[in-house]
């Protein structure tokens, strides 16, 4: 893990540590549950913001008139920037204070929301979404790493992570509903306006209630390494986006991919040589950590693009309003809450391997069920599939996050959380690029072959379903009606192809999960911790020494 060299991980970590200050509130008493509420409220807002724009895409397109590439950037700028900076800010929090980074993130997120509300062009909105990504990169790893510190007992931490991950799923699922409610009465900028007063409130509340904590404080922070990771991830994701946009042979695509490979290769080499690396790559060889990270990537890769496509399907194919669209997606949120709250009990009963693999299979069944959807509305299939999808998705993410975070030493919780969130955001960026590419190719080829429609109109209609409906309105008559019908059929066909690709990715995830530990380590019934070995320092549930943390209340 970050800040721990391979030679010092596991049983080789020295028992001696410099004593550090601690406070009672994080370790015991009701105070830790209050902190959980504050952190989950922060996460809820971030998660809502990640998906609230999905139902607003048609309104944004009609108002700002972005091109197809600009529209993708409006959606992708947030996960791209966030994924690029998570390691930088997560490891920085371990050194300068996790609460400090969290509060700065609140301020940045609030200012970016103001900019998004005032956006008058696609470029300004893209810039605002990128700045939101900066704030999100500060907030997300800080919330998870603070949980790792505030709940040192694994049993309580499992419950806290269940609430945390359920909150994230609720926020992502509730985003379209919140967006739909706002769009029923206000313009699309209102989906960002909600952030401003909440972030203004979050700053003093977080300053007052959340305890400050850092890692062991030894060794310098690797600024160059953090910048290499940010530049490499950004270049690699941009290169994949170029391929997804149909520019695989463009010179810029090759340049971005090469730059990403060089920077990330330099980053890996640098970390392997440092005594105090940001990322301990030996950790990825441990099943509980490396496999959990890969499961997070595969889960999000398979599903993130479907949220945007589902919102467009419900609105543009079935003709539902934004509010009706949000309500139709609500079962996913309800199921995710249930899975998150049941997560600790499920983990103890099944163990990480069966829990995560089973979650993948359940999600694959749900996605396969969605392939039966067509031009006509089928509420029963939608509700049933979304219930299974929400439960399976949350089961996978809970098991993966709990295994990953419990495997990490507590003093590098920020770095561990950053890796998990980087995996999530990297999967989101790659998923939108990959599944978006599959969708666009399947849809575009079918629309451009529409008989009786002028070639230039057919090419314009091939950019997106929203644009196709606008072109059909301009054409009018039989040609317009033919294009409208053809575009909807093409979108359904493209969605079905994309869903099958997602099923294949989910099945690959189920196979990958077989490398996770079969069961949780045996713990003391009273404390939930692995008992200390005779003559050795106390061990954490994952084999690392139980080390003190610096905690201050200010």
- pLDDT for 220: 64
| Pairwise CA distance, residues 108 & 78, whole Å | 13
Task: Tell me if the domain spanning 26-211+223-521 has CATH number 3.30.1330.20.
Answer: no
- pLDDT for 466: 75
* Rg value, the chain, Cα: 23
Mean predicted confidence (pLDDT) in 364-393: 88
Mean predicted confidence (pLDDT) in 139-152: 78
Q: DSSP assignment of 186-221, as one string?
A: S-TTHHHHTHHHHHHHHHHHHHHHSPEEE----S--
76: number of CA atoms within 13 Å, CB side?
Answer: 26
- pLDDT for 85: 83
- pLDDT for 162: 78
Average pLDDT in the chain: 76
**With the CA atoms of 282, 302, 257 and 438 taken in that order, what torsion angle do they form, in degrees rounded to the nearest 10?**
160
- pLDDT for 532: 40
> Which of 107-116, 161-170, 435-444 is modeled with the greatest confidence?
107-116
| Pairwise CA distance, residues 99 & 120, whole Å | 34
- pLDDT for 444: 78
- 225 phi and psi angles, rounded to 5 deg: -60, -40
| Pairwise CA distance, residues 164 & 263, whole Å | 33
| Pairwise CA distance, residues 532 & 535, whole Å | 9
| Pairwise CA distance, residues 394 & 434, whole Å | 22
357: number of CA atoms within 13 Å, CB side?
Answer: 14
Flag whether pLDDT at 529 surpasses 70: no
Q: Which residue has the tokens 């089928």?
A: 378
Are 450 and 411 contacting, i.e. CB atoms less than 8 angstroms apart?
no
Residue spans per domain, the chain: 26-211+223-521
- pLDDT for 13: 36
| Pairwise CA distance, residues 61 & 35, whole Å | 40
- In this prediction, residue 539 has a pLDDT band, given cuts at 50, 70 and 90, of very low
38: number of CA atoms within 13 Å, CB side?
Answer: 25
Are 396 and 360 contacting, i.e. CB atoms less than 8 angstroms apart?
yes
Which residues, 6 or more positions from 90, have their beta carbon under 8 angstroms from its beta carbon?
Answer: 2, 141, 142, 145, 414, 415, 416, 417, 418, 419, 421, 422
The answer to whether the Cα torsion of 115, 116, 117, 118 is positive or negative is: positive
pLDDT digits (tens, 9 = 90+) for 384-423: 998 999 899 889 988 888 888 777 666 666 667 777 777 7
Flag whether pLDDT at 262 surpasses 90: yes
DSSP symbol at 538: -
Are 215 and 551 contacting, i.e. CB atoms less than 8 angstroms apart?
no
The answer to whether the Cα torsion of 443, 448, 453, 459 is positive or negative is: positive
pLDDT digits (tens, 9 = 90+) for 444-472: 777 777 777 777 777 777 777 777 888 88
**Alpha carbon 207 to its chain's center:** 25
- In this prediction, residue 217 has a pLDDT band, given cuts at 50, 70 and 90, of low
Burial category of 273 from C-beta neighbours within 10 Å (exposed 0-12, middle 13-18, buried 19 and up)? exposed
| Pairwise CA distance, residues 35 & 294, whole Å | 29
**Regarding predicted confidence, which is higher, 54 or 34?**
34
Q: Three-class SS of residue 428?
A: helix
- In this prediction, residue 476 has a pLDDT band, given cuts at 50, 70 and 90, of confident
């Amino acid at each position: 893990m970050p800040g721990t060299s391979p030679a010092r991980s596991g049983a080789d970590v020295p028992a001696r540590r410099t004593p550090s200050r601690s406070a009672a509130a994080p370790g015991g008493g009701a105070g830790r549950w209050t902190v959980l509420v504050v952190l989950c409220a922060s996460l809820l807002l971030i998660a809502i913001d990640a998906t609230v724009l999905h139902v607003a895409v048609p309104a944004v397109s009609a108002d700002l008139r972005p091109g197809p590439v600009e529209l993708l950037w409006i959606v992708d700028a947030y996960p791209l920037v966030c994924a690029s900076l998570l390691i930088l800010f997560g490891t920085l929090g371990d050194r300068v204070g996790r609460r400090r980074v969290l509060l700065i993130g609140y301020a940045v997120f609030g200012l970016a929301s103001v900019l998004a509300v005032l956006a008058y062009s696609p470029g300004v909105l893209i810039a605002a979404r990128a700045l939101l990504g900066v704030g999100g990169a500060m907030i997300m790893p800080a919330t998870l790493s603070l949980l790792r510190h505030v709940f040192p007992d694994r049993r309580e931490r499992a419950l806290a992570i269940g609430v945390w991950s359920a909150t994230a799923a609720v926020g992502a699922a509730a985003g379209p509903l919140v967006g739909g409610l706002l769009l029923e009465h206000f313009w699309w900028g209102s989906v960002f306006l909600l952030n401003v007063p909440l972030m203004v409130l979050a700053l003093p509340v977080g300053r007052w209630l959340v305890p400050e904590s850092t890692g062991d404080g030894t060794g310098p922070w690797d600024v160059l390494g953090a910048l290499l990771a940010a530049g490499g991830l950004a270049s690699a994701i941009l290169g994949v986006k170029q391929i997804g946009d149909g520019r695989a042979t463009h010179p810029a695509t090759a340049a971005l991919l090469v730059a990403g490979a060089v920077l990330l290769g330099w980053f890996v080499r640098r970390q392997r040589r440092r005594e105090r690396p940001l990322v301990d790559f030996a950790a990825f060889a441990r099943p509980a950590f490396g496999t959990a990270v890969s499961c997070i990537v595969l889960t999000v890769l398979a599903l993130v693009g479907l949220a945007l496509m589902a919102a467009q399907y419900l609105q543009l194919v079935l003709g539902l309003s934004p509010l009706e669209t949000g309500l139709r997606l609500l079962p996913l949120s309800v199921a995710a809450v249930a899975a998150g709250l049941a997560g600790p009990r499920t983990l103890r009963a099944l163990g990480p391997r069966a829990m995560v693999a089973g979650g993948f299979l359940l999600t694959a069944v749900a996605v396969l069920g969605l392939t039966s959807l067509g031009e006509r509305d089928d509420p029963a299939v939608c509700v049933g599939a979304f219930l299974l999808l929400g439960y399976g998705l949350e089961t996978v993410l809970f098991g993966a996050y709990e295994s990953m975070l419990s495997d990490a030493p507590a003093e590098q919780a920020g770095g561990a959380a950053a890796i998990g969130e980087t995996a999530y955001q990297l999967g989101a960026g790659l998923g939108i690029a990959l599944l978006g590419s599959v969708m666009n190719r399947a849809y575009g080829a079918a629309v451009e072959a529409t008989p009786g429609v002028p070639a230039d109109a057919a090419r314009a209609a091939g950019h997106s379903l929203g644009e196709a409906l606008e072109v059909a309105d301009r054409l009018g008559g039989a040609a317009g009606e033919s294009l409208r019908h053809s575009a909807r059929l093409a979108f359904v066909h493209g969605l079905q192809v994309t869903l099958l690709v997602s099923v294949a990715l989910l099945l690959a995830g189920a196979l990958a999960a077989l490398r996770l530990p079969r069961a949780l380590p045996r713990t003391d019934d009273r404390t939930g911790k692995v008992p200390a070995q005779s003559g050795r320092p106390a061990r954490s549930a994952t084999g690392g020494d139980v080390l003190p943390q610096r905690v201050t209340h200010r």
